[in-house]
Amino acid sequence: MNRWWHRFFRTPGELEAMGVVGINMRNARFVLPNNPRRLYDLVDNKVRTKTLAEEREIAVPETYGIASSPAHVRYLDRLLGDHESFVIKPARGSGGKGVLVVSGREDGYFVKPSGARLSMIDVKHHLQNVLAGLFSLGGKRDVALIEYRVKASRVMTEISFQGAPDIRVVMLHGYPLMAMLRASTRQSDGRSNLHQGAIGIGVDIATGRTIHAVHHGRSVEQHPDLKVPLIGVEVPEWDRILDIAVTCHEMTGLGYLGVDLMVDEDRGPLMIEVNARPGLAIQLANGVGLLKRLEPAAERAKKYPHDERKDKIAFARKAFASRVVTA
Amino acid sequence: MASRIKLIAIVLVLTLLGGGLAAYKHVNLGIPLMVGKKPTEWLVEAKVSFIATGDPVTARLSLPTVAVDKEMGVDARSAGYSFMVEDDLGEYSAVWSADEKEGNQALYYRVRFPAKGVDTAGPIAHTGEAPQAEEPGLTGNLRAAADSVVRRAKETSSNPDTLFVGVFREITAIEGSQEIALLKRHYEEVANGQALTLLGIDLLNMAGVPARKAYAVRLDEIRGAQDPLMFVEYHDGVYWKVRDPDAATSTVDPREYFVWNRGGEALLDLGGGENSQVVFTTTRDVIPLDKLTDLRGSGLLVSTIFGLPASERQVFRYVVLIPIGAFVVVLLRNLVGIATLGTFMPVLLALALLEMDLQSGLIMFVVIVTAGLWFRFLLSRLNLLVVPRVAACVVIVTLLMMVLSVVSWHLGMRGGLRITLFPMIILAWTIERMSLIWEEEGKRSAILQVLGSMIVAYVAYFFMKDPQVRYWAFYFPELLLVLLAGIILLGRYTGYRLSELMRFKNFEEA
């Protein structure tokens, strides 16, 4: 059913038939009615999100320190202690803005995963930028989190070019709808934004196996740089991942949300951040229109308002299982 | 569903209210719906403001003779004052008087005339005896200096016209003579501001050509409130003529200037007040006066902006256009899906383009943003903190604008000079924001977003520039309620954006 115009666009009718959700629909029908404004700060401020998560005993990367004043920047050595690798991120950053990853130290320099070297002054300057609010929404003053750098599990690093892929689970009313992995490529330069050439890999909700992958909006089977197969990879500890995701819904109260996680070699799945307006690329990665899952989930939530966490997961695994048989 | 009914009700109410008011204005007050059927008119408004001291007030404003003689649409606004026009041998003045006023006062006098302009600077024959040149009464050094300037000017002239040119050429010469420097100093002590014009008048008198002050107003809508310009009126033996001392060789163009008063009287004579000031506002209008009084006399909702004096109304020229720009932004973002830098940056950019030529505006924007971005990257190597860096960016943008203005002037692009009105903070902020996106999301999205902003700004500019749209916005501002209804409807559009049809073109069901 390929038509000539599919090279350029798809008609609204075709997209509707496939259940593709556009930004206007996402905002008007799912984000606005389900996510009250007052809850946003819980997820827009990573310090608060982490505190909440720790109360719920959700595994998160260990916090080494929080830099909130110029004095903290001056005595950065003390904050860092003897940690060889760490991540600096703004508490109010979004979309990975302002995240600085240091993978090791070498004769007084900090080394980024790409191999680039930073001096102490460079790192301090980055911290000052974070504190001044350069990366925060609306340029408000911010604080910087210094935390454990996830040592991604081997299964994950094998399908990503430098930098560990993260896992995003999108949920409505606590029912996991769709999941994807975002793996970086040479082109995306360690970033996990699909616009910049990262690969989106759809993950089957039922089994945690990868089922479909897109690069620049087109289906791919292999990593363009690493030439490894992207389909049929099993995400480790899938049950824990789903459990953490649904707990994040419970702790924030947001109706429609995305949870980002990473799988650590030693510590298993760690929650990285919660997003109150997750994007729509996940549909491309899975090859499934979100509406096909949003509607059944909304219906189920209405019918069974007292579903427990395990009921929600069980329902999602059954209703949203991939129909593709993976090898 | 209840919310849908509410929505429809709100949209209906807004549309009916806006449309109804517009229809009422059209049918009952006869304001045309379409622009350009009537020739436009100039409206020149003098605003006298002062602080009354609590004593009886008398304000006397010299008026344009032509306006009163030809019965041009004159109109004086003066709440709480008695008003009359005094005729003193063909020289008119408006006289307001009132008992015991206190605090800030404002008096208005308006003149309307066809947009072609009236020749208020033409030669006037003198009635009665020939006027006599008045001796300015300079003494000592000053007298000697003035005499030698007059002598030089006389040597190179044959009649009062060329003498006028000669005198003002002496005065305005860049490498002025010592005599002029001396005289200048003296006049600046006596009169501030327009010392040179007063000096010229005295020199003409000494040379035997009767001369006196005249006041003119520049016909320029963009300027807003302006101070009166001092012109010179001189007698060439037969006629009184008016010339602009800054353009001594040419006669006054009636399309550019309106000579408010000639005859050498003081512009304003005030008793019972202090800190007095006269400012003028000029604006183009299409409604004839009789209709306008109808409109102004009607209720608050209908009269809207026209209840205000011209000087205040002028502000609304651009303000009423902003919602139209905002509507375009909503349309292009939510229906088409063009990414822009910030939500309303394109509207501000469109406003800036309205103030200058479109083409040079866009070129300037691109050049300044590109160059600014380059400097910004140089700056970022210095590891500056955020606020100083943005401030540094503002300085760079200012300097760039100065350089560009000079360069474009030398290239003969006059439009480029208007760049000084280009909002600098918007530019600096655009550069800062773009460089952030450049670093964080890559140059592709930075360039796409700037391009998107420019496209949206261009479309918004296109609408805001359209005479019909401007006409509606200004004369039927209640139509903005209909626009609001449209925006509310668009706010509930949950369909696909045009860009999404392309974004999902490869979408395949797995």
Predicted pLDDT at A21: 94
| Angle, CA of B496, B498 and B502, to the nearest 5° | 100
pLDDT tens-place string over residues B379-411? 877 777 777 877 888 888 888 888 887 887 777
Most confident of the following: A40-49, A293-302, B344-353, B358-367: A293-302
Tell me what ipTM this predicted complex has: 0.84
| Lowest pLDDT segment from A198-207, B163-172, B260-269, B423-432 | B423-432
d(CA B48, CA B281): 11
Pairing of strands B239-243, B124-125: antiparallel
Predicted pLDDT at A326: 47
Q: For residue A327, what pLDDT band results from cuts at 50, 70 and 90?
A: very low
Rounded mean pLDDT of A206-219? 92
Q: 10 Å Cβ neighbour count for B507? A: 22
Predicted pLDDT at A137: 63
pLDDT tens-place string over residues A21-35? 999 999 999 999 999
Does residue B291 register a pLDDT over 50? yes
Rounded mean pLDDT of B475-489? 90
CB contact under 8 A, B383 and A125: yes
Is A2 touching B (CB cutoff 8 A)?
Answer: no
Is B506 touching A (CB cutoff 8 A)?
Answer: yes
C-alpha closest to that of B126 among B212, B192, B193, B207:
B212
Does residue B418 register a pLDDT over 70? no
Does residue B117 register a pLDDT over 80? no
Residue A141 distance to chain B (closest CA, Å): 11
| Lowest pLDDT segment from A154-158, A278-282, B283-287, B327-331 | B283-287
Question: Who contacts A82 (Cβ-Cβ below 8 Å, separation ≥6)?
Answer: none
Residue B404 distance to chain A (closest CA, Å): 30
Output the average pLDDT for chain B.
80
CB contact under 8 A, A214 and B441: no
Is B343 touching A (CB cutoff 8 A)?
Answer: no
Sheet of A117-118: strands edge to edge? A104-106, A109-111, A117-118
Predicted pLDDT at B355: 75
| Lowest pLDDT segment from A82-86, A163-167, B303-307 | B303-307
Phi, psi (degrees; rounded to nearest 5) at A181: -105, 145
Residue B500 distance to chain A (closest CA, Å): 7
Does residue B67 register a pLDDT over 70? no
Question: Who contacts B403 (Cβ-Cβ below 8 Å, separation ≥6)?
Answer: none
Output the average pLDDT for chain A.
90
Which residue would you say has higher pLDDT here, A310 or B506? A310
- Alpha-carbon torsion B216, B220, B225, B226, what sign? negative
Is A279 touching B (CB cutoff 8 A)?
Answer: no
| Lowest pLDDT segment from B155-169, B299-313, B421-435 | B299-313
The counts of H helices and E strands in chain A are 13, 14
Q: For residue B335, what pLDDT band results from cuts at 50, 70 and 90?
A: very high
For chain B positions 397-456, those within 8 Å of chain A (CB to CB) are 436, 440-442, 444-445
Predicted pLDDT at B181: 81
Q: For residue B357, what pLDDT band results from cuts at 50, 70 and 90?
A: confident
Q: For residue B70, what pLDDT band results from cuts at 50, 70 and 90?
A: low
Rounded mean pLDDT of B483-492? 92
C-alpha atoms less than 13 angstroms from C-alpha of B180 in its C-beta half-sphere:
19
Which residue would you say has higher pLDDT here, B292 or A298? A298
Rounded mean pLDDT of B72-98? 77
State which residue of chain A sits closest to B433, comparing Cα positions.
A134
Is A51 touching B (CB cutoff 8 A)?
Answer: no
